[in-house]
Amino acid sequence: MNIIGTTIIPTHGHVLFNGKPVNSSTVEEYRTQLGVVPQHITLPKRMRLRDILSYLCWVHKIPRSRTPPHAIAEVLERLELSPKANARVGDLSGGQLRRAGFACALIHAPSVLILDEPTVGLDPEVRMEMRHLIAELATNTTILLSTHLLEDVRFLQPNVVMINRGQMVFTGSYNEFLAALPEDAGQQESSVEQAYQQMLRTSATEKNMNRG
């Protein structure tokens, strides 16, 4: 995720965006289309939410067609944070802070949004709120979501890429992911959890065969 978010330079391979490699000559253009919500939202606790977003408007060089006050009001309304515009970050609840992280990532209207474990550590009510928000954002934004919570996968039913120990072991649709489930599987675990375990077993078997 850090490589895709351009905070780490890859030692092997490359990132493609719209079919073009992201390198030193294209990375700035790429970043204008990229929004990132890290797992841990760290914002200055004494600053007001509106001031943070105003600063990010300056960082992202928001064009005159989307004047900063308008852009800020728009993203705050979209994330149901308008009443908290003048609140200090340290006074926000856990769910509000997570939404503030989304606001920071969306202020420049990116076409791609990277979410790193967006529901980890949240209570059940806020976790469900985040899932609904992600589903709404996915209607007009490409979302790349990293999660260890299989409930996220079940709720969102996205295209799935599964990585085990740095190796991609599956890529396909949500239904194709579930199709890995054996027909005689028991019912003690959810279908998503069983498909996940089946992928891990298949990956381990293939790796042992290659070694042999």
Condensed to tens digits (0 to 9), the pLDDT of residues 57-74 reads 999 888 777 677 888 999
More confident residue, 204 or 111: 111
Number of residues that this document lists for the chain = 212
Sign of the four-CA dihedral 134, 29, 31, 66? negative
Judged against a pLDDT cut of 70, whether residue 14 lies above it is answered with yes
Judged against a pLDDT cut of 90, whether residue 43 lies above it is answered with yes
Q: Domain for residue 189, yes or no?
A: yes
pLDDT at 193: 67
pTM here?
Answer: 0.79
Nearest-angstrom CA–CA distance, 188 and 177: 19
Q: Domain for residue 94, yes or no?
A: no
Nearest-angstrom CA–CA distance, 1 and 4: 5
Three-state DSSP at 40 gives coil
pLDDT at 69: 84
Q: DSSP assignment, residue 38?
A: -
Number of domains in the chain: 1
Q: Domain for residue 181, yes or no?
A: yes
> For 21-49, what is the mean pLDDT?
93
pLDDT at 155: 84
Q: Domain for residue 191, yes or no?
A: yes
Judged against a pLDDT cut of 80, whether residue 203 lies above it is answered with no
Cβ atoms within 10 Å of 56's Cβ, excluding its own: 20
More confident residue, 93 or 212: 93
For the ranges 14-23, 79-88, 132-141, 168-177, which has the lowest average pLDDT?
Answer: 168-177
Q: Domain for residue 125, yes or no?
A: no
Nearest-angstrom CA–CA distance, 190 and 193: 5
Q: Domain for residue 107, yes or no?
A: no
Q: Domain for residue 10, yes or no?
A: no
3-state secondary structure 115-172: EECCCCCCCHHHHHHHHHHHHHHCCCCEEEEECCCHHHHHHHCCCEEEEECCEEEEEE
Two structure tokens written together for 118: 């967006």
pLDDT at 74: 92
Q: Domain for residue 173, yes or no?
A: yes
> For 46-62, what is the mean pLDDT?
93
Give residue 205's domain range.
Answer: 159-212
Q: How confident is the model at residue 26 (pLDDT cuts 50, 70, 90)?
A: very high
